């Protein structure tokens, strides 16, 4: 395929230019996450970031690298009317597959950890170097999966990725996407049910009203962040599953298949940036001059993940306990 010159018609320019343009947006969205996270980290005097800030940072790292590979892919095809040479083409497709798996694994891991902390009350603390755990696990598993389908990466019509009708390399991402989507949604559905159940118990008067309102505000912020990140994550990968499924059929060379693929793959950095803005605001707004608040009023965004889980755990234990004494004031 790489030695075949593509005709420079409307479809050729439309697909290649769209690929480059969308992945430039992907690149800029990821760079925006880097900038905002660094600003936030600096304002916190380089203290460890909460998971609500590390999650978009990890996702942006894989999206940034994927965007770079895709821009090279599209630019080479646009300039030369053919895909990259055989070995670089296979390597590019293989690297893109590993980055895609790492991205999915991050969201899957965070989903399970959130479920265990909130619903099962497991005191899971990965620490400030949790990226090492994610990186090692992702690379090990991703490389293993890529080796299994190592002959399935190479040239498609407009770029280098999974070979058309190469069953192993196309079925693998479909299974990954469906599995991650189902598990992550199940974990977050259980988490949301636990939060709602806790609110109902609090409304029964088992804690003071001031404590309830504080917990309620924290819950709403965490719920909003969970919903937005999961929503945009699924919006990215479901089109990729459609793209991989179509590549197994006679529709593999249809133009719409390429559009679905590039829209899905490039949406990672774009959707991540949109979700970040929805959660944290468009511009940094760090109020470091405000006087410190007490433990119930503080509940700042940088600590909301760990604070929420600790609060929820203590509250549920007290709700289920038969001893409803004055110790409720220490929640």
Confidence check: pLDDT of 62 > 70: yes
pLDDT at residue 296 in the model: 37
Q: Which of 271, 264, 266, 261 is nearest to 227 (CA)?
A: 271
Q: Which two tokens stand for residue 23?
A: 């992945």
Instruction: Tell me if 13 sits within 8 A of 20, measured CB to CB.
Output: no
Instruction: Tell me if 74 sits within 8 A of 66, measured CB to CB.
Output: no
Which pTM value belongs to this model? 0.77
Region of poorest pLDDT, from 26-35, 37-46, 92-101, 114-123: 114-123
Calculate mean pLDDT across residues 277-286.
Answer: 80
Length of the chain: 331
What is the residue-wise DSSP string for 17-79? HHHHHHHHHHHHHHHHHHHHHHHHHHHTTTPPPPHHHHHHHHHHHHHHHHHHHHHHHHHHHHH
Confidence check: pLDDT of 72 > 90: yes
Calculate mean pLDDT across residues 248-274.
Answer: 89
Give the model's confidence band at 103: pLDDT under 50 very low, under 70 low, under 90 confident, else very high: confident
pLDDT digits (tens, 9 = 90+) for 45-61: 888 777 778 889 989 99
211 against 291, higher pLDDT: 211
Calculate mean pLDDT across residues 120-146.
Answer: 67
pLDDT at residue 326 in the model: 40
Q: Which of 316, 302, 320 is nearest to 48 (CA)?
A: 302
Distance of CA 130 to the CA centre of its chain: 16
Confidence check: pLDDT of 134 > 60: yes
Instruction: Tell me if 98 sits within 8 A of 139, measured CB to CB.
Output: yes
Region of poorest pLDDT, from 127-136, 172-181, 196-205: 127-136
Q: Which two tokens stand for residue 58?
A: 């990890």
Region of poorest pLDDT, from 95-109, 195-209, 288-302: 288-302
Confidence check: pLDDT of 214 > 60: no
pLDDT digits (tens, 9 = 90+) for 14-31: 999 999 999 999 999 999
192 against 264, higher pLDDT: 264
Name the β-bridge partners of 154. Answer: 161
At residue 79, φ and ψ (nearest 5 deg) are: -80, -30
Q: Which of 237, 111, 252, 263 is nearest to 176 (CA)?
A: 237
Q: Which of 228, 211, 276, 255 is nearest to 36 (CA)?
A: 276
pLDDT digits (tens, 9 = 90+) for 140-183: 766 776 676 667 788 888 999 888 767 777 788 888 889 998 99
Name the β-bridge partners of 155. Answer: 160
Task: Report the mean per-residue pLDDT for the chain.
Answer: 76
Structural domains of the chain, ranges and CATH numbers in brackets: 10-330 (1.20.1070.10)
320 against 270, higher pLDDT: 270
pLDDT at residue 282 in the model: 84
């Amino acid at each position: 395929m790489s030695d075949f010159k593509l005709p420079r018609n409307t479809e050729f320019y439309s697909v290649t230019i769209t690929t480059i343009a969308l992945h430039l947006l992907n690149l800029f969205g990821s760079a925006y996450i880097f900038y905002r996270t660094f600003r936030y980290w600096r304002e916190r005097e380089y203290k460890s970031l909460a998971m609500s800030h590390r999650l978009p940072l990890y996702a942006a790292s894989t999206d940034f690298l994927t965007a770079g590979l895709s821009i090279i892919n599209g630019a080479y095809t646009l300039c030369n009317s053919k895909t990259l040479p055989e070995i670089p083409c296979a390597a590019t497709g293989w690297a893109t597959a590993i980055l895609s798996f790492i991205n999915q694994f991050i969201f899957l891991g965070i989903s399970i950890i959130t479920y265990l902390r909130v619903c099962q009350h497991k005191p899971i603390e990965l620490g400030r170097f949790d990226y090492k755990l994610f990186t090692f696990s992702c690379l090990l598993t991703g490389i293993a999966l890529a080796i299994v389908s190592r002959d399935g990466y190479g040239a498609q019509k407009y770029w280098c990725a999974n070979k058309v009708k190469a069953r192993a390399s196309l079925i693998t991402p479909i299974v990954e996407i469906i599995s991650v989507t189902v598990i992550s949604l199940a974990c977050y559905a259980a988490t949301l049910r636990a939060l709602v159940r806790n609110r109902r118990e609090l409304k029964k008067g088992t804690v003071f009203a001031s404590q309830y309102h504080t917990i309620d505000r924290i819950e709403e912020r965490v719920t909003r962040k969970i919903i937005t990140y999961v929503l945009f994550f699924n919006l990215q990968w479901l089109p990729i599953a459609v793209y991989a499924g179509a590549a197994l059929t006679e529709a593999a060379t249809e133009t719409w298949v390429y559009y679905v693929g590039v829209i899905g793959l490039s949406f990672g950095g774009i959707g991540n940036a949109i979700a970040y803005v929805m959660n944290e605001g468009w511009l940094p707004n760090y109020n470091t001059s405000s006087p410190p608040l007490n433990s119930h009023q503080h509940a700042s965004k940088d600590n909301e993940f760990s604070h929420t889980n600790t609060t929820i755990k203590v509250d549920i234990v007290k709700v289920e306990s038969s001893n409803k004494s004055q110790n409720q004031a220490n929640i």
